[in-house]
Structure 1
Amino acid sequence: MNDKQKRPVRVLVAKVGLDGHDRGAKVIATSLRDAGMEVIYTGLRQTPEMVVNAALQEDVDAIGISILSGAHMTVFPRIMSLMKEKGLTDILVTGGGIIPAEDMAVLNEMGVGKLFAPGANTGDVSDYIYKWVEENRR
C-alpha cells in the first residue's frame, strides 16, 4: 500500500455563487469530518475558478458543491470544464441542494457524480464518497 492509499479521504466542500445559505454545507462538512474524512470548507460566494484552484492546491479526492440558487446548470458544467482544462480527471465532483431530478440526470451524463437532495442521509453521502475514492484513487 502506497502513501496515497493510506492517507485520509480529502473533500473540499464549497458554496458557489451568490447563494448565502450554508447550513446544509456545514452539516455535510461536519458529518464527513465525523466519518473520518479531512474536510476543507471554502465558505460562501466562491467562483468555480476558486473551487477548482483550491481543489488542486489541497490535493482533494472529492469536491462537494452545495447549491440552492438554481444555478446548478451553470456552476457544475463550468467546474467540470475547468477541471478538464487542469487535468483533474481523478477527483469526484458531487454535491446537493435544490436540483430537479431531470437536471441531476443531465449533470450525471456530463460526468458529475451522484447528487443529493435536501434531507439526504449524511451516512449515504459519506458512504458514496468512500466507495468512489476506493474505486478511483490513483
Structure 2
Amino acid sequence: MQAKTLVTGVIGADTHIVGNRILSTALEKAGYKVVALGALTPAGDFIKAAIETAADAIMVSSLYGQGEIDCRGFRDLCVEAGMEDILIYLGGNLVVGKQPWREVEQRFLAMGFDRVFPPGTRIEDVLATLAADFVARDRGERLDATLPTPWATRQGAEP
C-alpha cells in the first residue's frame, strides 16, 4: 500500500512552529509522506497543497489562541475544492483563556474538523487516532468524532 500523504502547518498569523515540526517528524518516522507548510500559513495554502499532492489528510496547528478566527470556513474551502472527504485534524491552544475542553472541541467539530486535539496531546495518541481513522475511512465507514481518542480514554473528559 502506498504511504498516505499529509499536509501539515501552522495556520494564520501564528509563528509557533516547534510542535508542528515535532509532529511532522513523527509522522514521517511512522511512514507517512509529509508536506510541511511551516508557520504563518493561510487556510487557502493548506487546500492548495492538499490538491497539488493528492493529500489524504490535513493537519492544522494553532497555538496562539486565534483558532476560531483562522479556522472558520476551513471545511467549506475543502468542499469547494472537491475534497469533501479529506480528513482534517486540528490541534493546539485553539482559544484565548481557559475554557472547558469539551466545549472547545465541539465548536471545532461543528466547523467540520474530524478530530480536535487539546494542548499537550501525546504524539503517539495522534498517530494511533490517525491510523484508526484511515482504516475506518478505507473501509468506507463514517468517522465518529464522539468516540474517545486515546488521550480522553487515559485522562478522562478534560485534558
TM-score over 0.5 (shorter chain): yes
Equivalent position SS for 1:40: strand
CA distance in 2, matches of 1:106, 1:52: 21
TM-score, L = length of structure 1: 0.88
Question: 1:76·1:112 contact (CA, 8 Å) conserved in 2?
Answer: no
Q: Which has the higher contact order (CA 8 A, sep 6+)?
A: 1
Question: Equivalent residues in 2 for 1:4-83 (5 A)?
Answer: 6-83=1-78
What residue number does 2:124 align with?
123
The Cα RMSD (Å) is 1.5
CA distance in 1, matches of 2:61, 2:114: 13
- Structure 1: gaps spanning 5 or more residues: 1-5
CA distance in 2, matches of 1:78, 1:111: 8
Q: Percent identity?
A: 26
Pick aligned residue for 2:80 from 80, 85, 108: 85
Give how far 1:76 is off.
Answer: 2.3
CA distance in 2, matches of 1:17, 1:76: 8
CA distance in 2, matches of 1:82, 1:13: 16
Structure 1 residue ranges (4+ consecutive) displaced by more than 4 angstroms after TM superposition: none
CA distance in 2, matches of 1:110, 1:22: 24
> What per-residue deviation string (whole Å, max 9, x for no partner) do you get for residues 36-87 of structure 1?
1111100121111111111111111111111012221122232211001112
Structure number, greater radius of gyration: 2
Give how far 1:91 is off.
Answer: 0.9
- Structure 2: gaps spanning 5 or more residues: 141-159
What residue number does 1:3 align with?
none
Q: Which piece of structure 1 moves more, 116-125 or 19-28?
A: 116-125
Give how far 1:89 is off.
Answer: 1.3
* 1:110 counterpart letter in structure 2: M
* 1:105 counterpart letter in structure 2: Q
What residue number does 2:107 align with?
106
Give how far 1:107 is off.
Answer: 1.2
Question: 1:32·1:39 contact (CA, 8 Å) conserved in 2?
Answer: yes
CA distance in 2, matches of 1:76, 1:91: 16
* 1:72 counterpart letter in structure 2: G
CA distance in 2, matches of 1:78, 1:109: 11
User: Size of the alignment, in residue pairs?
Assistant: 133
Which structure shows the higher helix fraction? 1
